[in-house]
């Protein structure tokens, strides 16, 4: 009798399931994913609400943004899955919006290149800033002023590959880890997006200034000056000083703390070239460069080199001022 009752109860449950199916209901249906709108604001040292440093032509600035989903594995480790990316030359309030999947945290990274339209790579005469792939001939992204889903139809993923690399695709400087550009960078490490939430991405300068000067260089000499990872600078008897160079830092992702100066250590090597003589290194000196400071490096006593007198180097530091933007020297004045 008990078995009969169990069979009848099972038939009732089965009947209910069949009725649900006949009504178009899926009793095993998973919960539909939901999304929340992420609305970003850019803050820090390139805030839209403050007068930016040397912003002569804001339309030339290029912003690259990566959005990654943080995935936690059963063992507790967290990996990043590319979710979306965007390249912008217009970041007016309200146009940095993206629907993100609920239930996850997100990592957001941003690089801004000042005068980026003059500095970043072009292809076939068109600006295609920031790379989407590795290699000698990388795939380049385009300015869309909107976010693009990282997941491609063929199952691959795209993101701005060099957004956090110090080596970035610049005109004539792609092989340098400290190119002559004015670069800003910022990160939100872990963001849980909520409706009507203010999400400010603090972006800060990631470059230092340097100018080289020489005293006493003889007529048959020229100086080759190298900052580790940056293009070479030359001084001659007629060229006593270099332009003021803005050098991109390698320390892109380190936090910028209020009241603390971020530094970037780089070795400065100076080689003297004399007519019909073998080139000789006269300085090989490690310098701690300060973010947002101009460093004037004066090389003296070169005329006595080789006579027992020491070549001297003097470094002066001054905080960068809000001055008019000058052409970068490697751009040829364009």
pLDDT band at 220 (very low <50, low <70, confident <90, very high): confident
What whole-number distance in Å separates Cα of residue 265 and Cα of residue 328? 23
pLDDT surpasses 70 at 103: yes
Greater model confidence, 166 or 46: 166
d(CA 65, CA 188): 11
Distance, in Å, from the CA atom of 128 to the CA atom of 86, rounded to the nearest integer, reads 12
- DSSP 8-state secondary structure symbol assigned to residue 151: B
Report, as an integer, the average pLDDT of 279-303. Answer: 86
What pLDDT digit, counting tens, does each position of 46-67 carry? 754 433 334 344 568 899 999 9
Is the pLDDT at 33 greater than 60? The verdict is yes
The tens digit of pLDDT for each residue in 261-288 reads 999 999 999 999 988 889 988 888 889 9
Higher-pLDDT residue of 258, 305: 258
Lowest-pLDDT range of 18-27, 120-129, 323-332: 323-332
pLDDT computed for residue 53 by the predictor: 38
Phi, psi values for residue 330, rounded to 5°: -80, -5
Mean pLDDT to the nearest integer, 284-293: 90
Residue 27 in this model has a pLDDT that exceeds 60: no
The answer to whether 297 touches 315, Cβ cutoff 8 Å, is yes
For position 149, what pLDDT does the model report? 95
pLDDT of res. 331: 39
pLDDT at 37 over 50: yes
Confidence of residue 321 (pLDDT cuts 50, 70, 90): low
pLDDT value at residue 250: 92
Report how far residue 37's alpha carbon sits from residue 23's, in angstroms, rounded to the nearest whole number.
Answer: 34
Give pLDDT, residue 29: 60
pLDDT of residue 155: 83
Q: Can you tell me which residue has the tokens 């080139």?
A: 279
Could you read off the pLDDT of 224-252 as tens digits, one per residue?
999 999 999 999 999 999 999 999 999 89
Report the pLDDT averaged over residues 72-78.
Answer: 86
Angle at 213 between CA 211 and CA 216, to 5 degrees: 170
The pLDDT score that the predictor gives to residue 91 is 84
In the block, which residue shows the tokens 């001659």?
236
Q: What is the pLDDT of residue 310?
A: 54
Q: pLDDT (tens digit, 9 = 90+) per residue, 131-144?
A: 998 877 888 999 99
Containing H/E element for 135?
none
Per-residue confidence (pLDDT) for residue 324, from 0 to 100: 36
- What is the percent of the chain where pLDDT is above 90? 44
The CA distance from 216 to 285, in Å, is 20
What pLDDT was estimated at residue 306?
45
What is the pLDDT confidence band of residue 291, given thresholds at 50, 70 and 90? very high
What tokens does 2 get? 């008990």
Q: Is 60 exceeded by the pLDDT of residue 24?
A: no
Provide mean pLDDT across the span 103-109: 96
């Amino acid at each position: 009798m008990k078995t009969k009752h169990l069979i009848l109860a099972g038939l009732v449950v089965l009947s209910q399931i069949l009725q649900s199916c006949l009504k178009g209901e899926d009793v095993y249906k998973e919960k539909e994913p939901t999304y929340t709108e992420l609305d970003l604001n850019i803050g820090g040292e390139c805030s839209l609400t403050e007068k930016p440093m040397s912003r002569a032509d804001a339309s030339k600035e290029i912003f690259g943004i990566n959005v990654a989903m943080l995935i936690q594995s059963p063992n507790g480790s967290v990996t990043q899955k590319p979710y979306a990316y965007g390249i912008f030359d217009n970041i007016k309030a309200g146009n940095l919006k993206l629907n993100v999947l609920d239930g996850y945290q997100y990592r957001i990274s941003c690089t801004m290149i000042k005068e980026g339209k003059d500095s970043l790579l072009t292809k076939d005469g068109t600006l295609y800033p920031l790379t989407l792939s590795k290699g000698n001939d990388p795939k380049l992204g385009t300015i869309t002023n909107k976010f693009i889903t990282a997941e491609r139809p063929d199952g691959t993923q795209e993101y701005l590959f060099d957004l956090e690399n110090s080596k970035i695709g610049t005109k004539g400087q792609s092989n340098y880890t400290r190119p002559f550009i004015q670069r800003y960078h910022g990160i939100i490490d872990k963001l849980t997006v909520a409706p009507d939430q203010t999400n400010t991405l603090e972006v800060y300068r990631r470059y230092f200034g340097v100018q080289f000067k020489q005293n006493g260089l003889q007529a048959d000499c020229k100086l080759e000056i190298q900052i580790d990872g940056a293009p070479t600078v030359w001084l001659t008897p007629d060229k006593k000083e270099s332009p003021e160079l803005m050098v991109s830092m390698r320390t892109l992702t380190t936090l910028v703390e209020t009241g603390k100066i971020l530094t970037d250590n780089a070795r400065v090597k100076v080689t003297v070239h004399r007519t019909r003589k073998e080139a000789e290194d006269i300085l090989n000196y490690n310098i701690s460069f300060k973010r947002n400071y101009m460093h004037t490096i004066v090389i003296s006593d070169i005329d006595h080199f080789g006579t027992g007198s020491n070549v001297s180097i003097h470094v002066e530091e001054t905080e960068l001022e809000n001055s008019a933007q000058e052409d970068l020297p490697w751009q040829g004045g364009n």
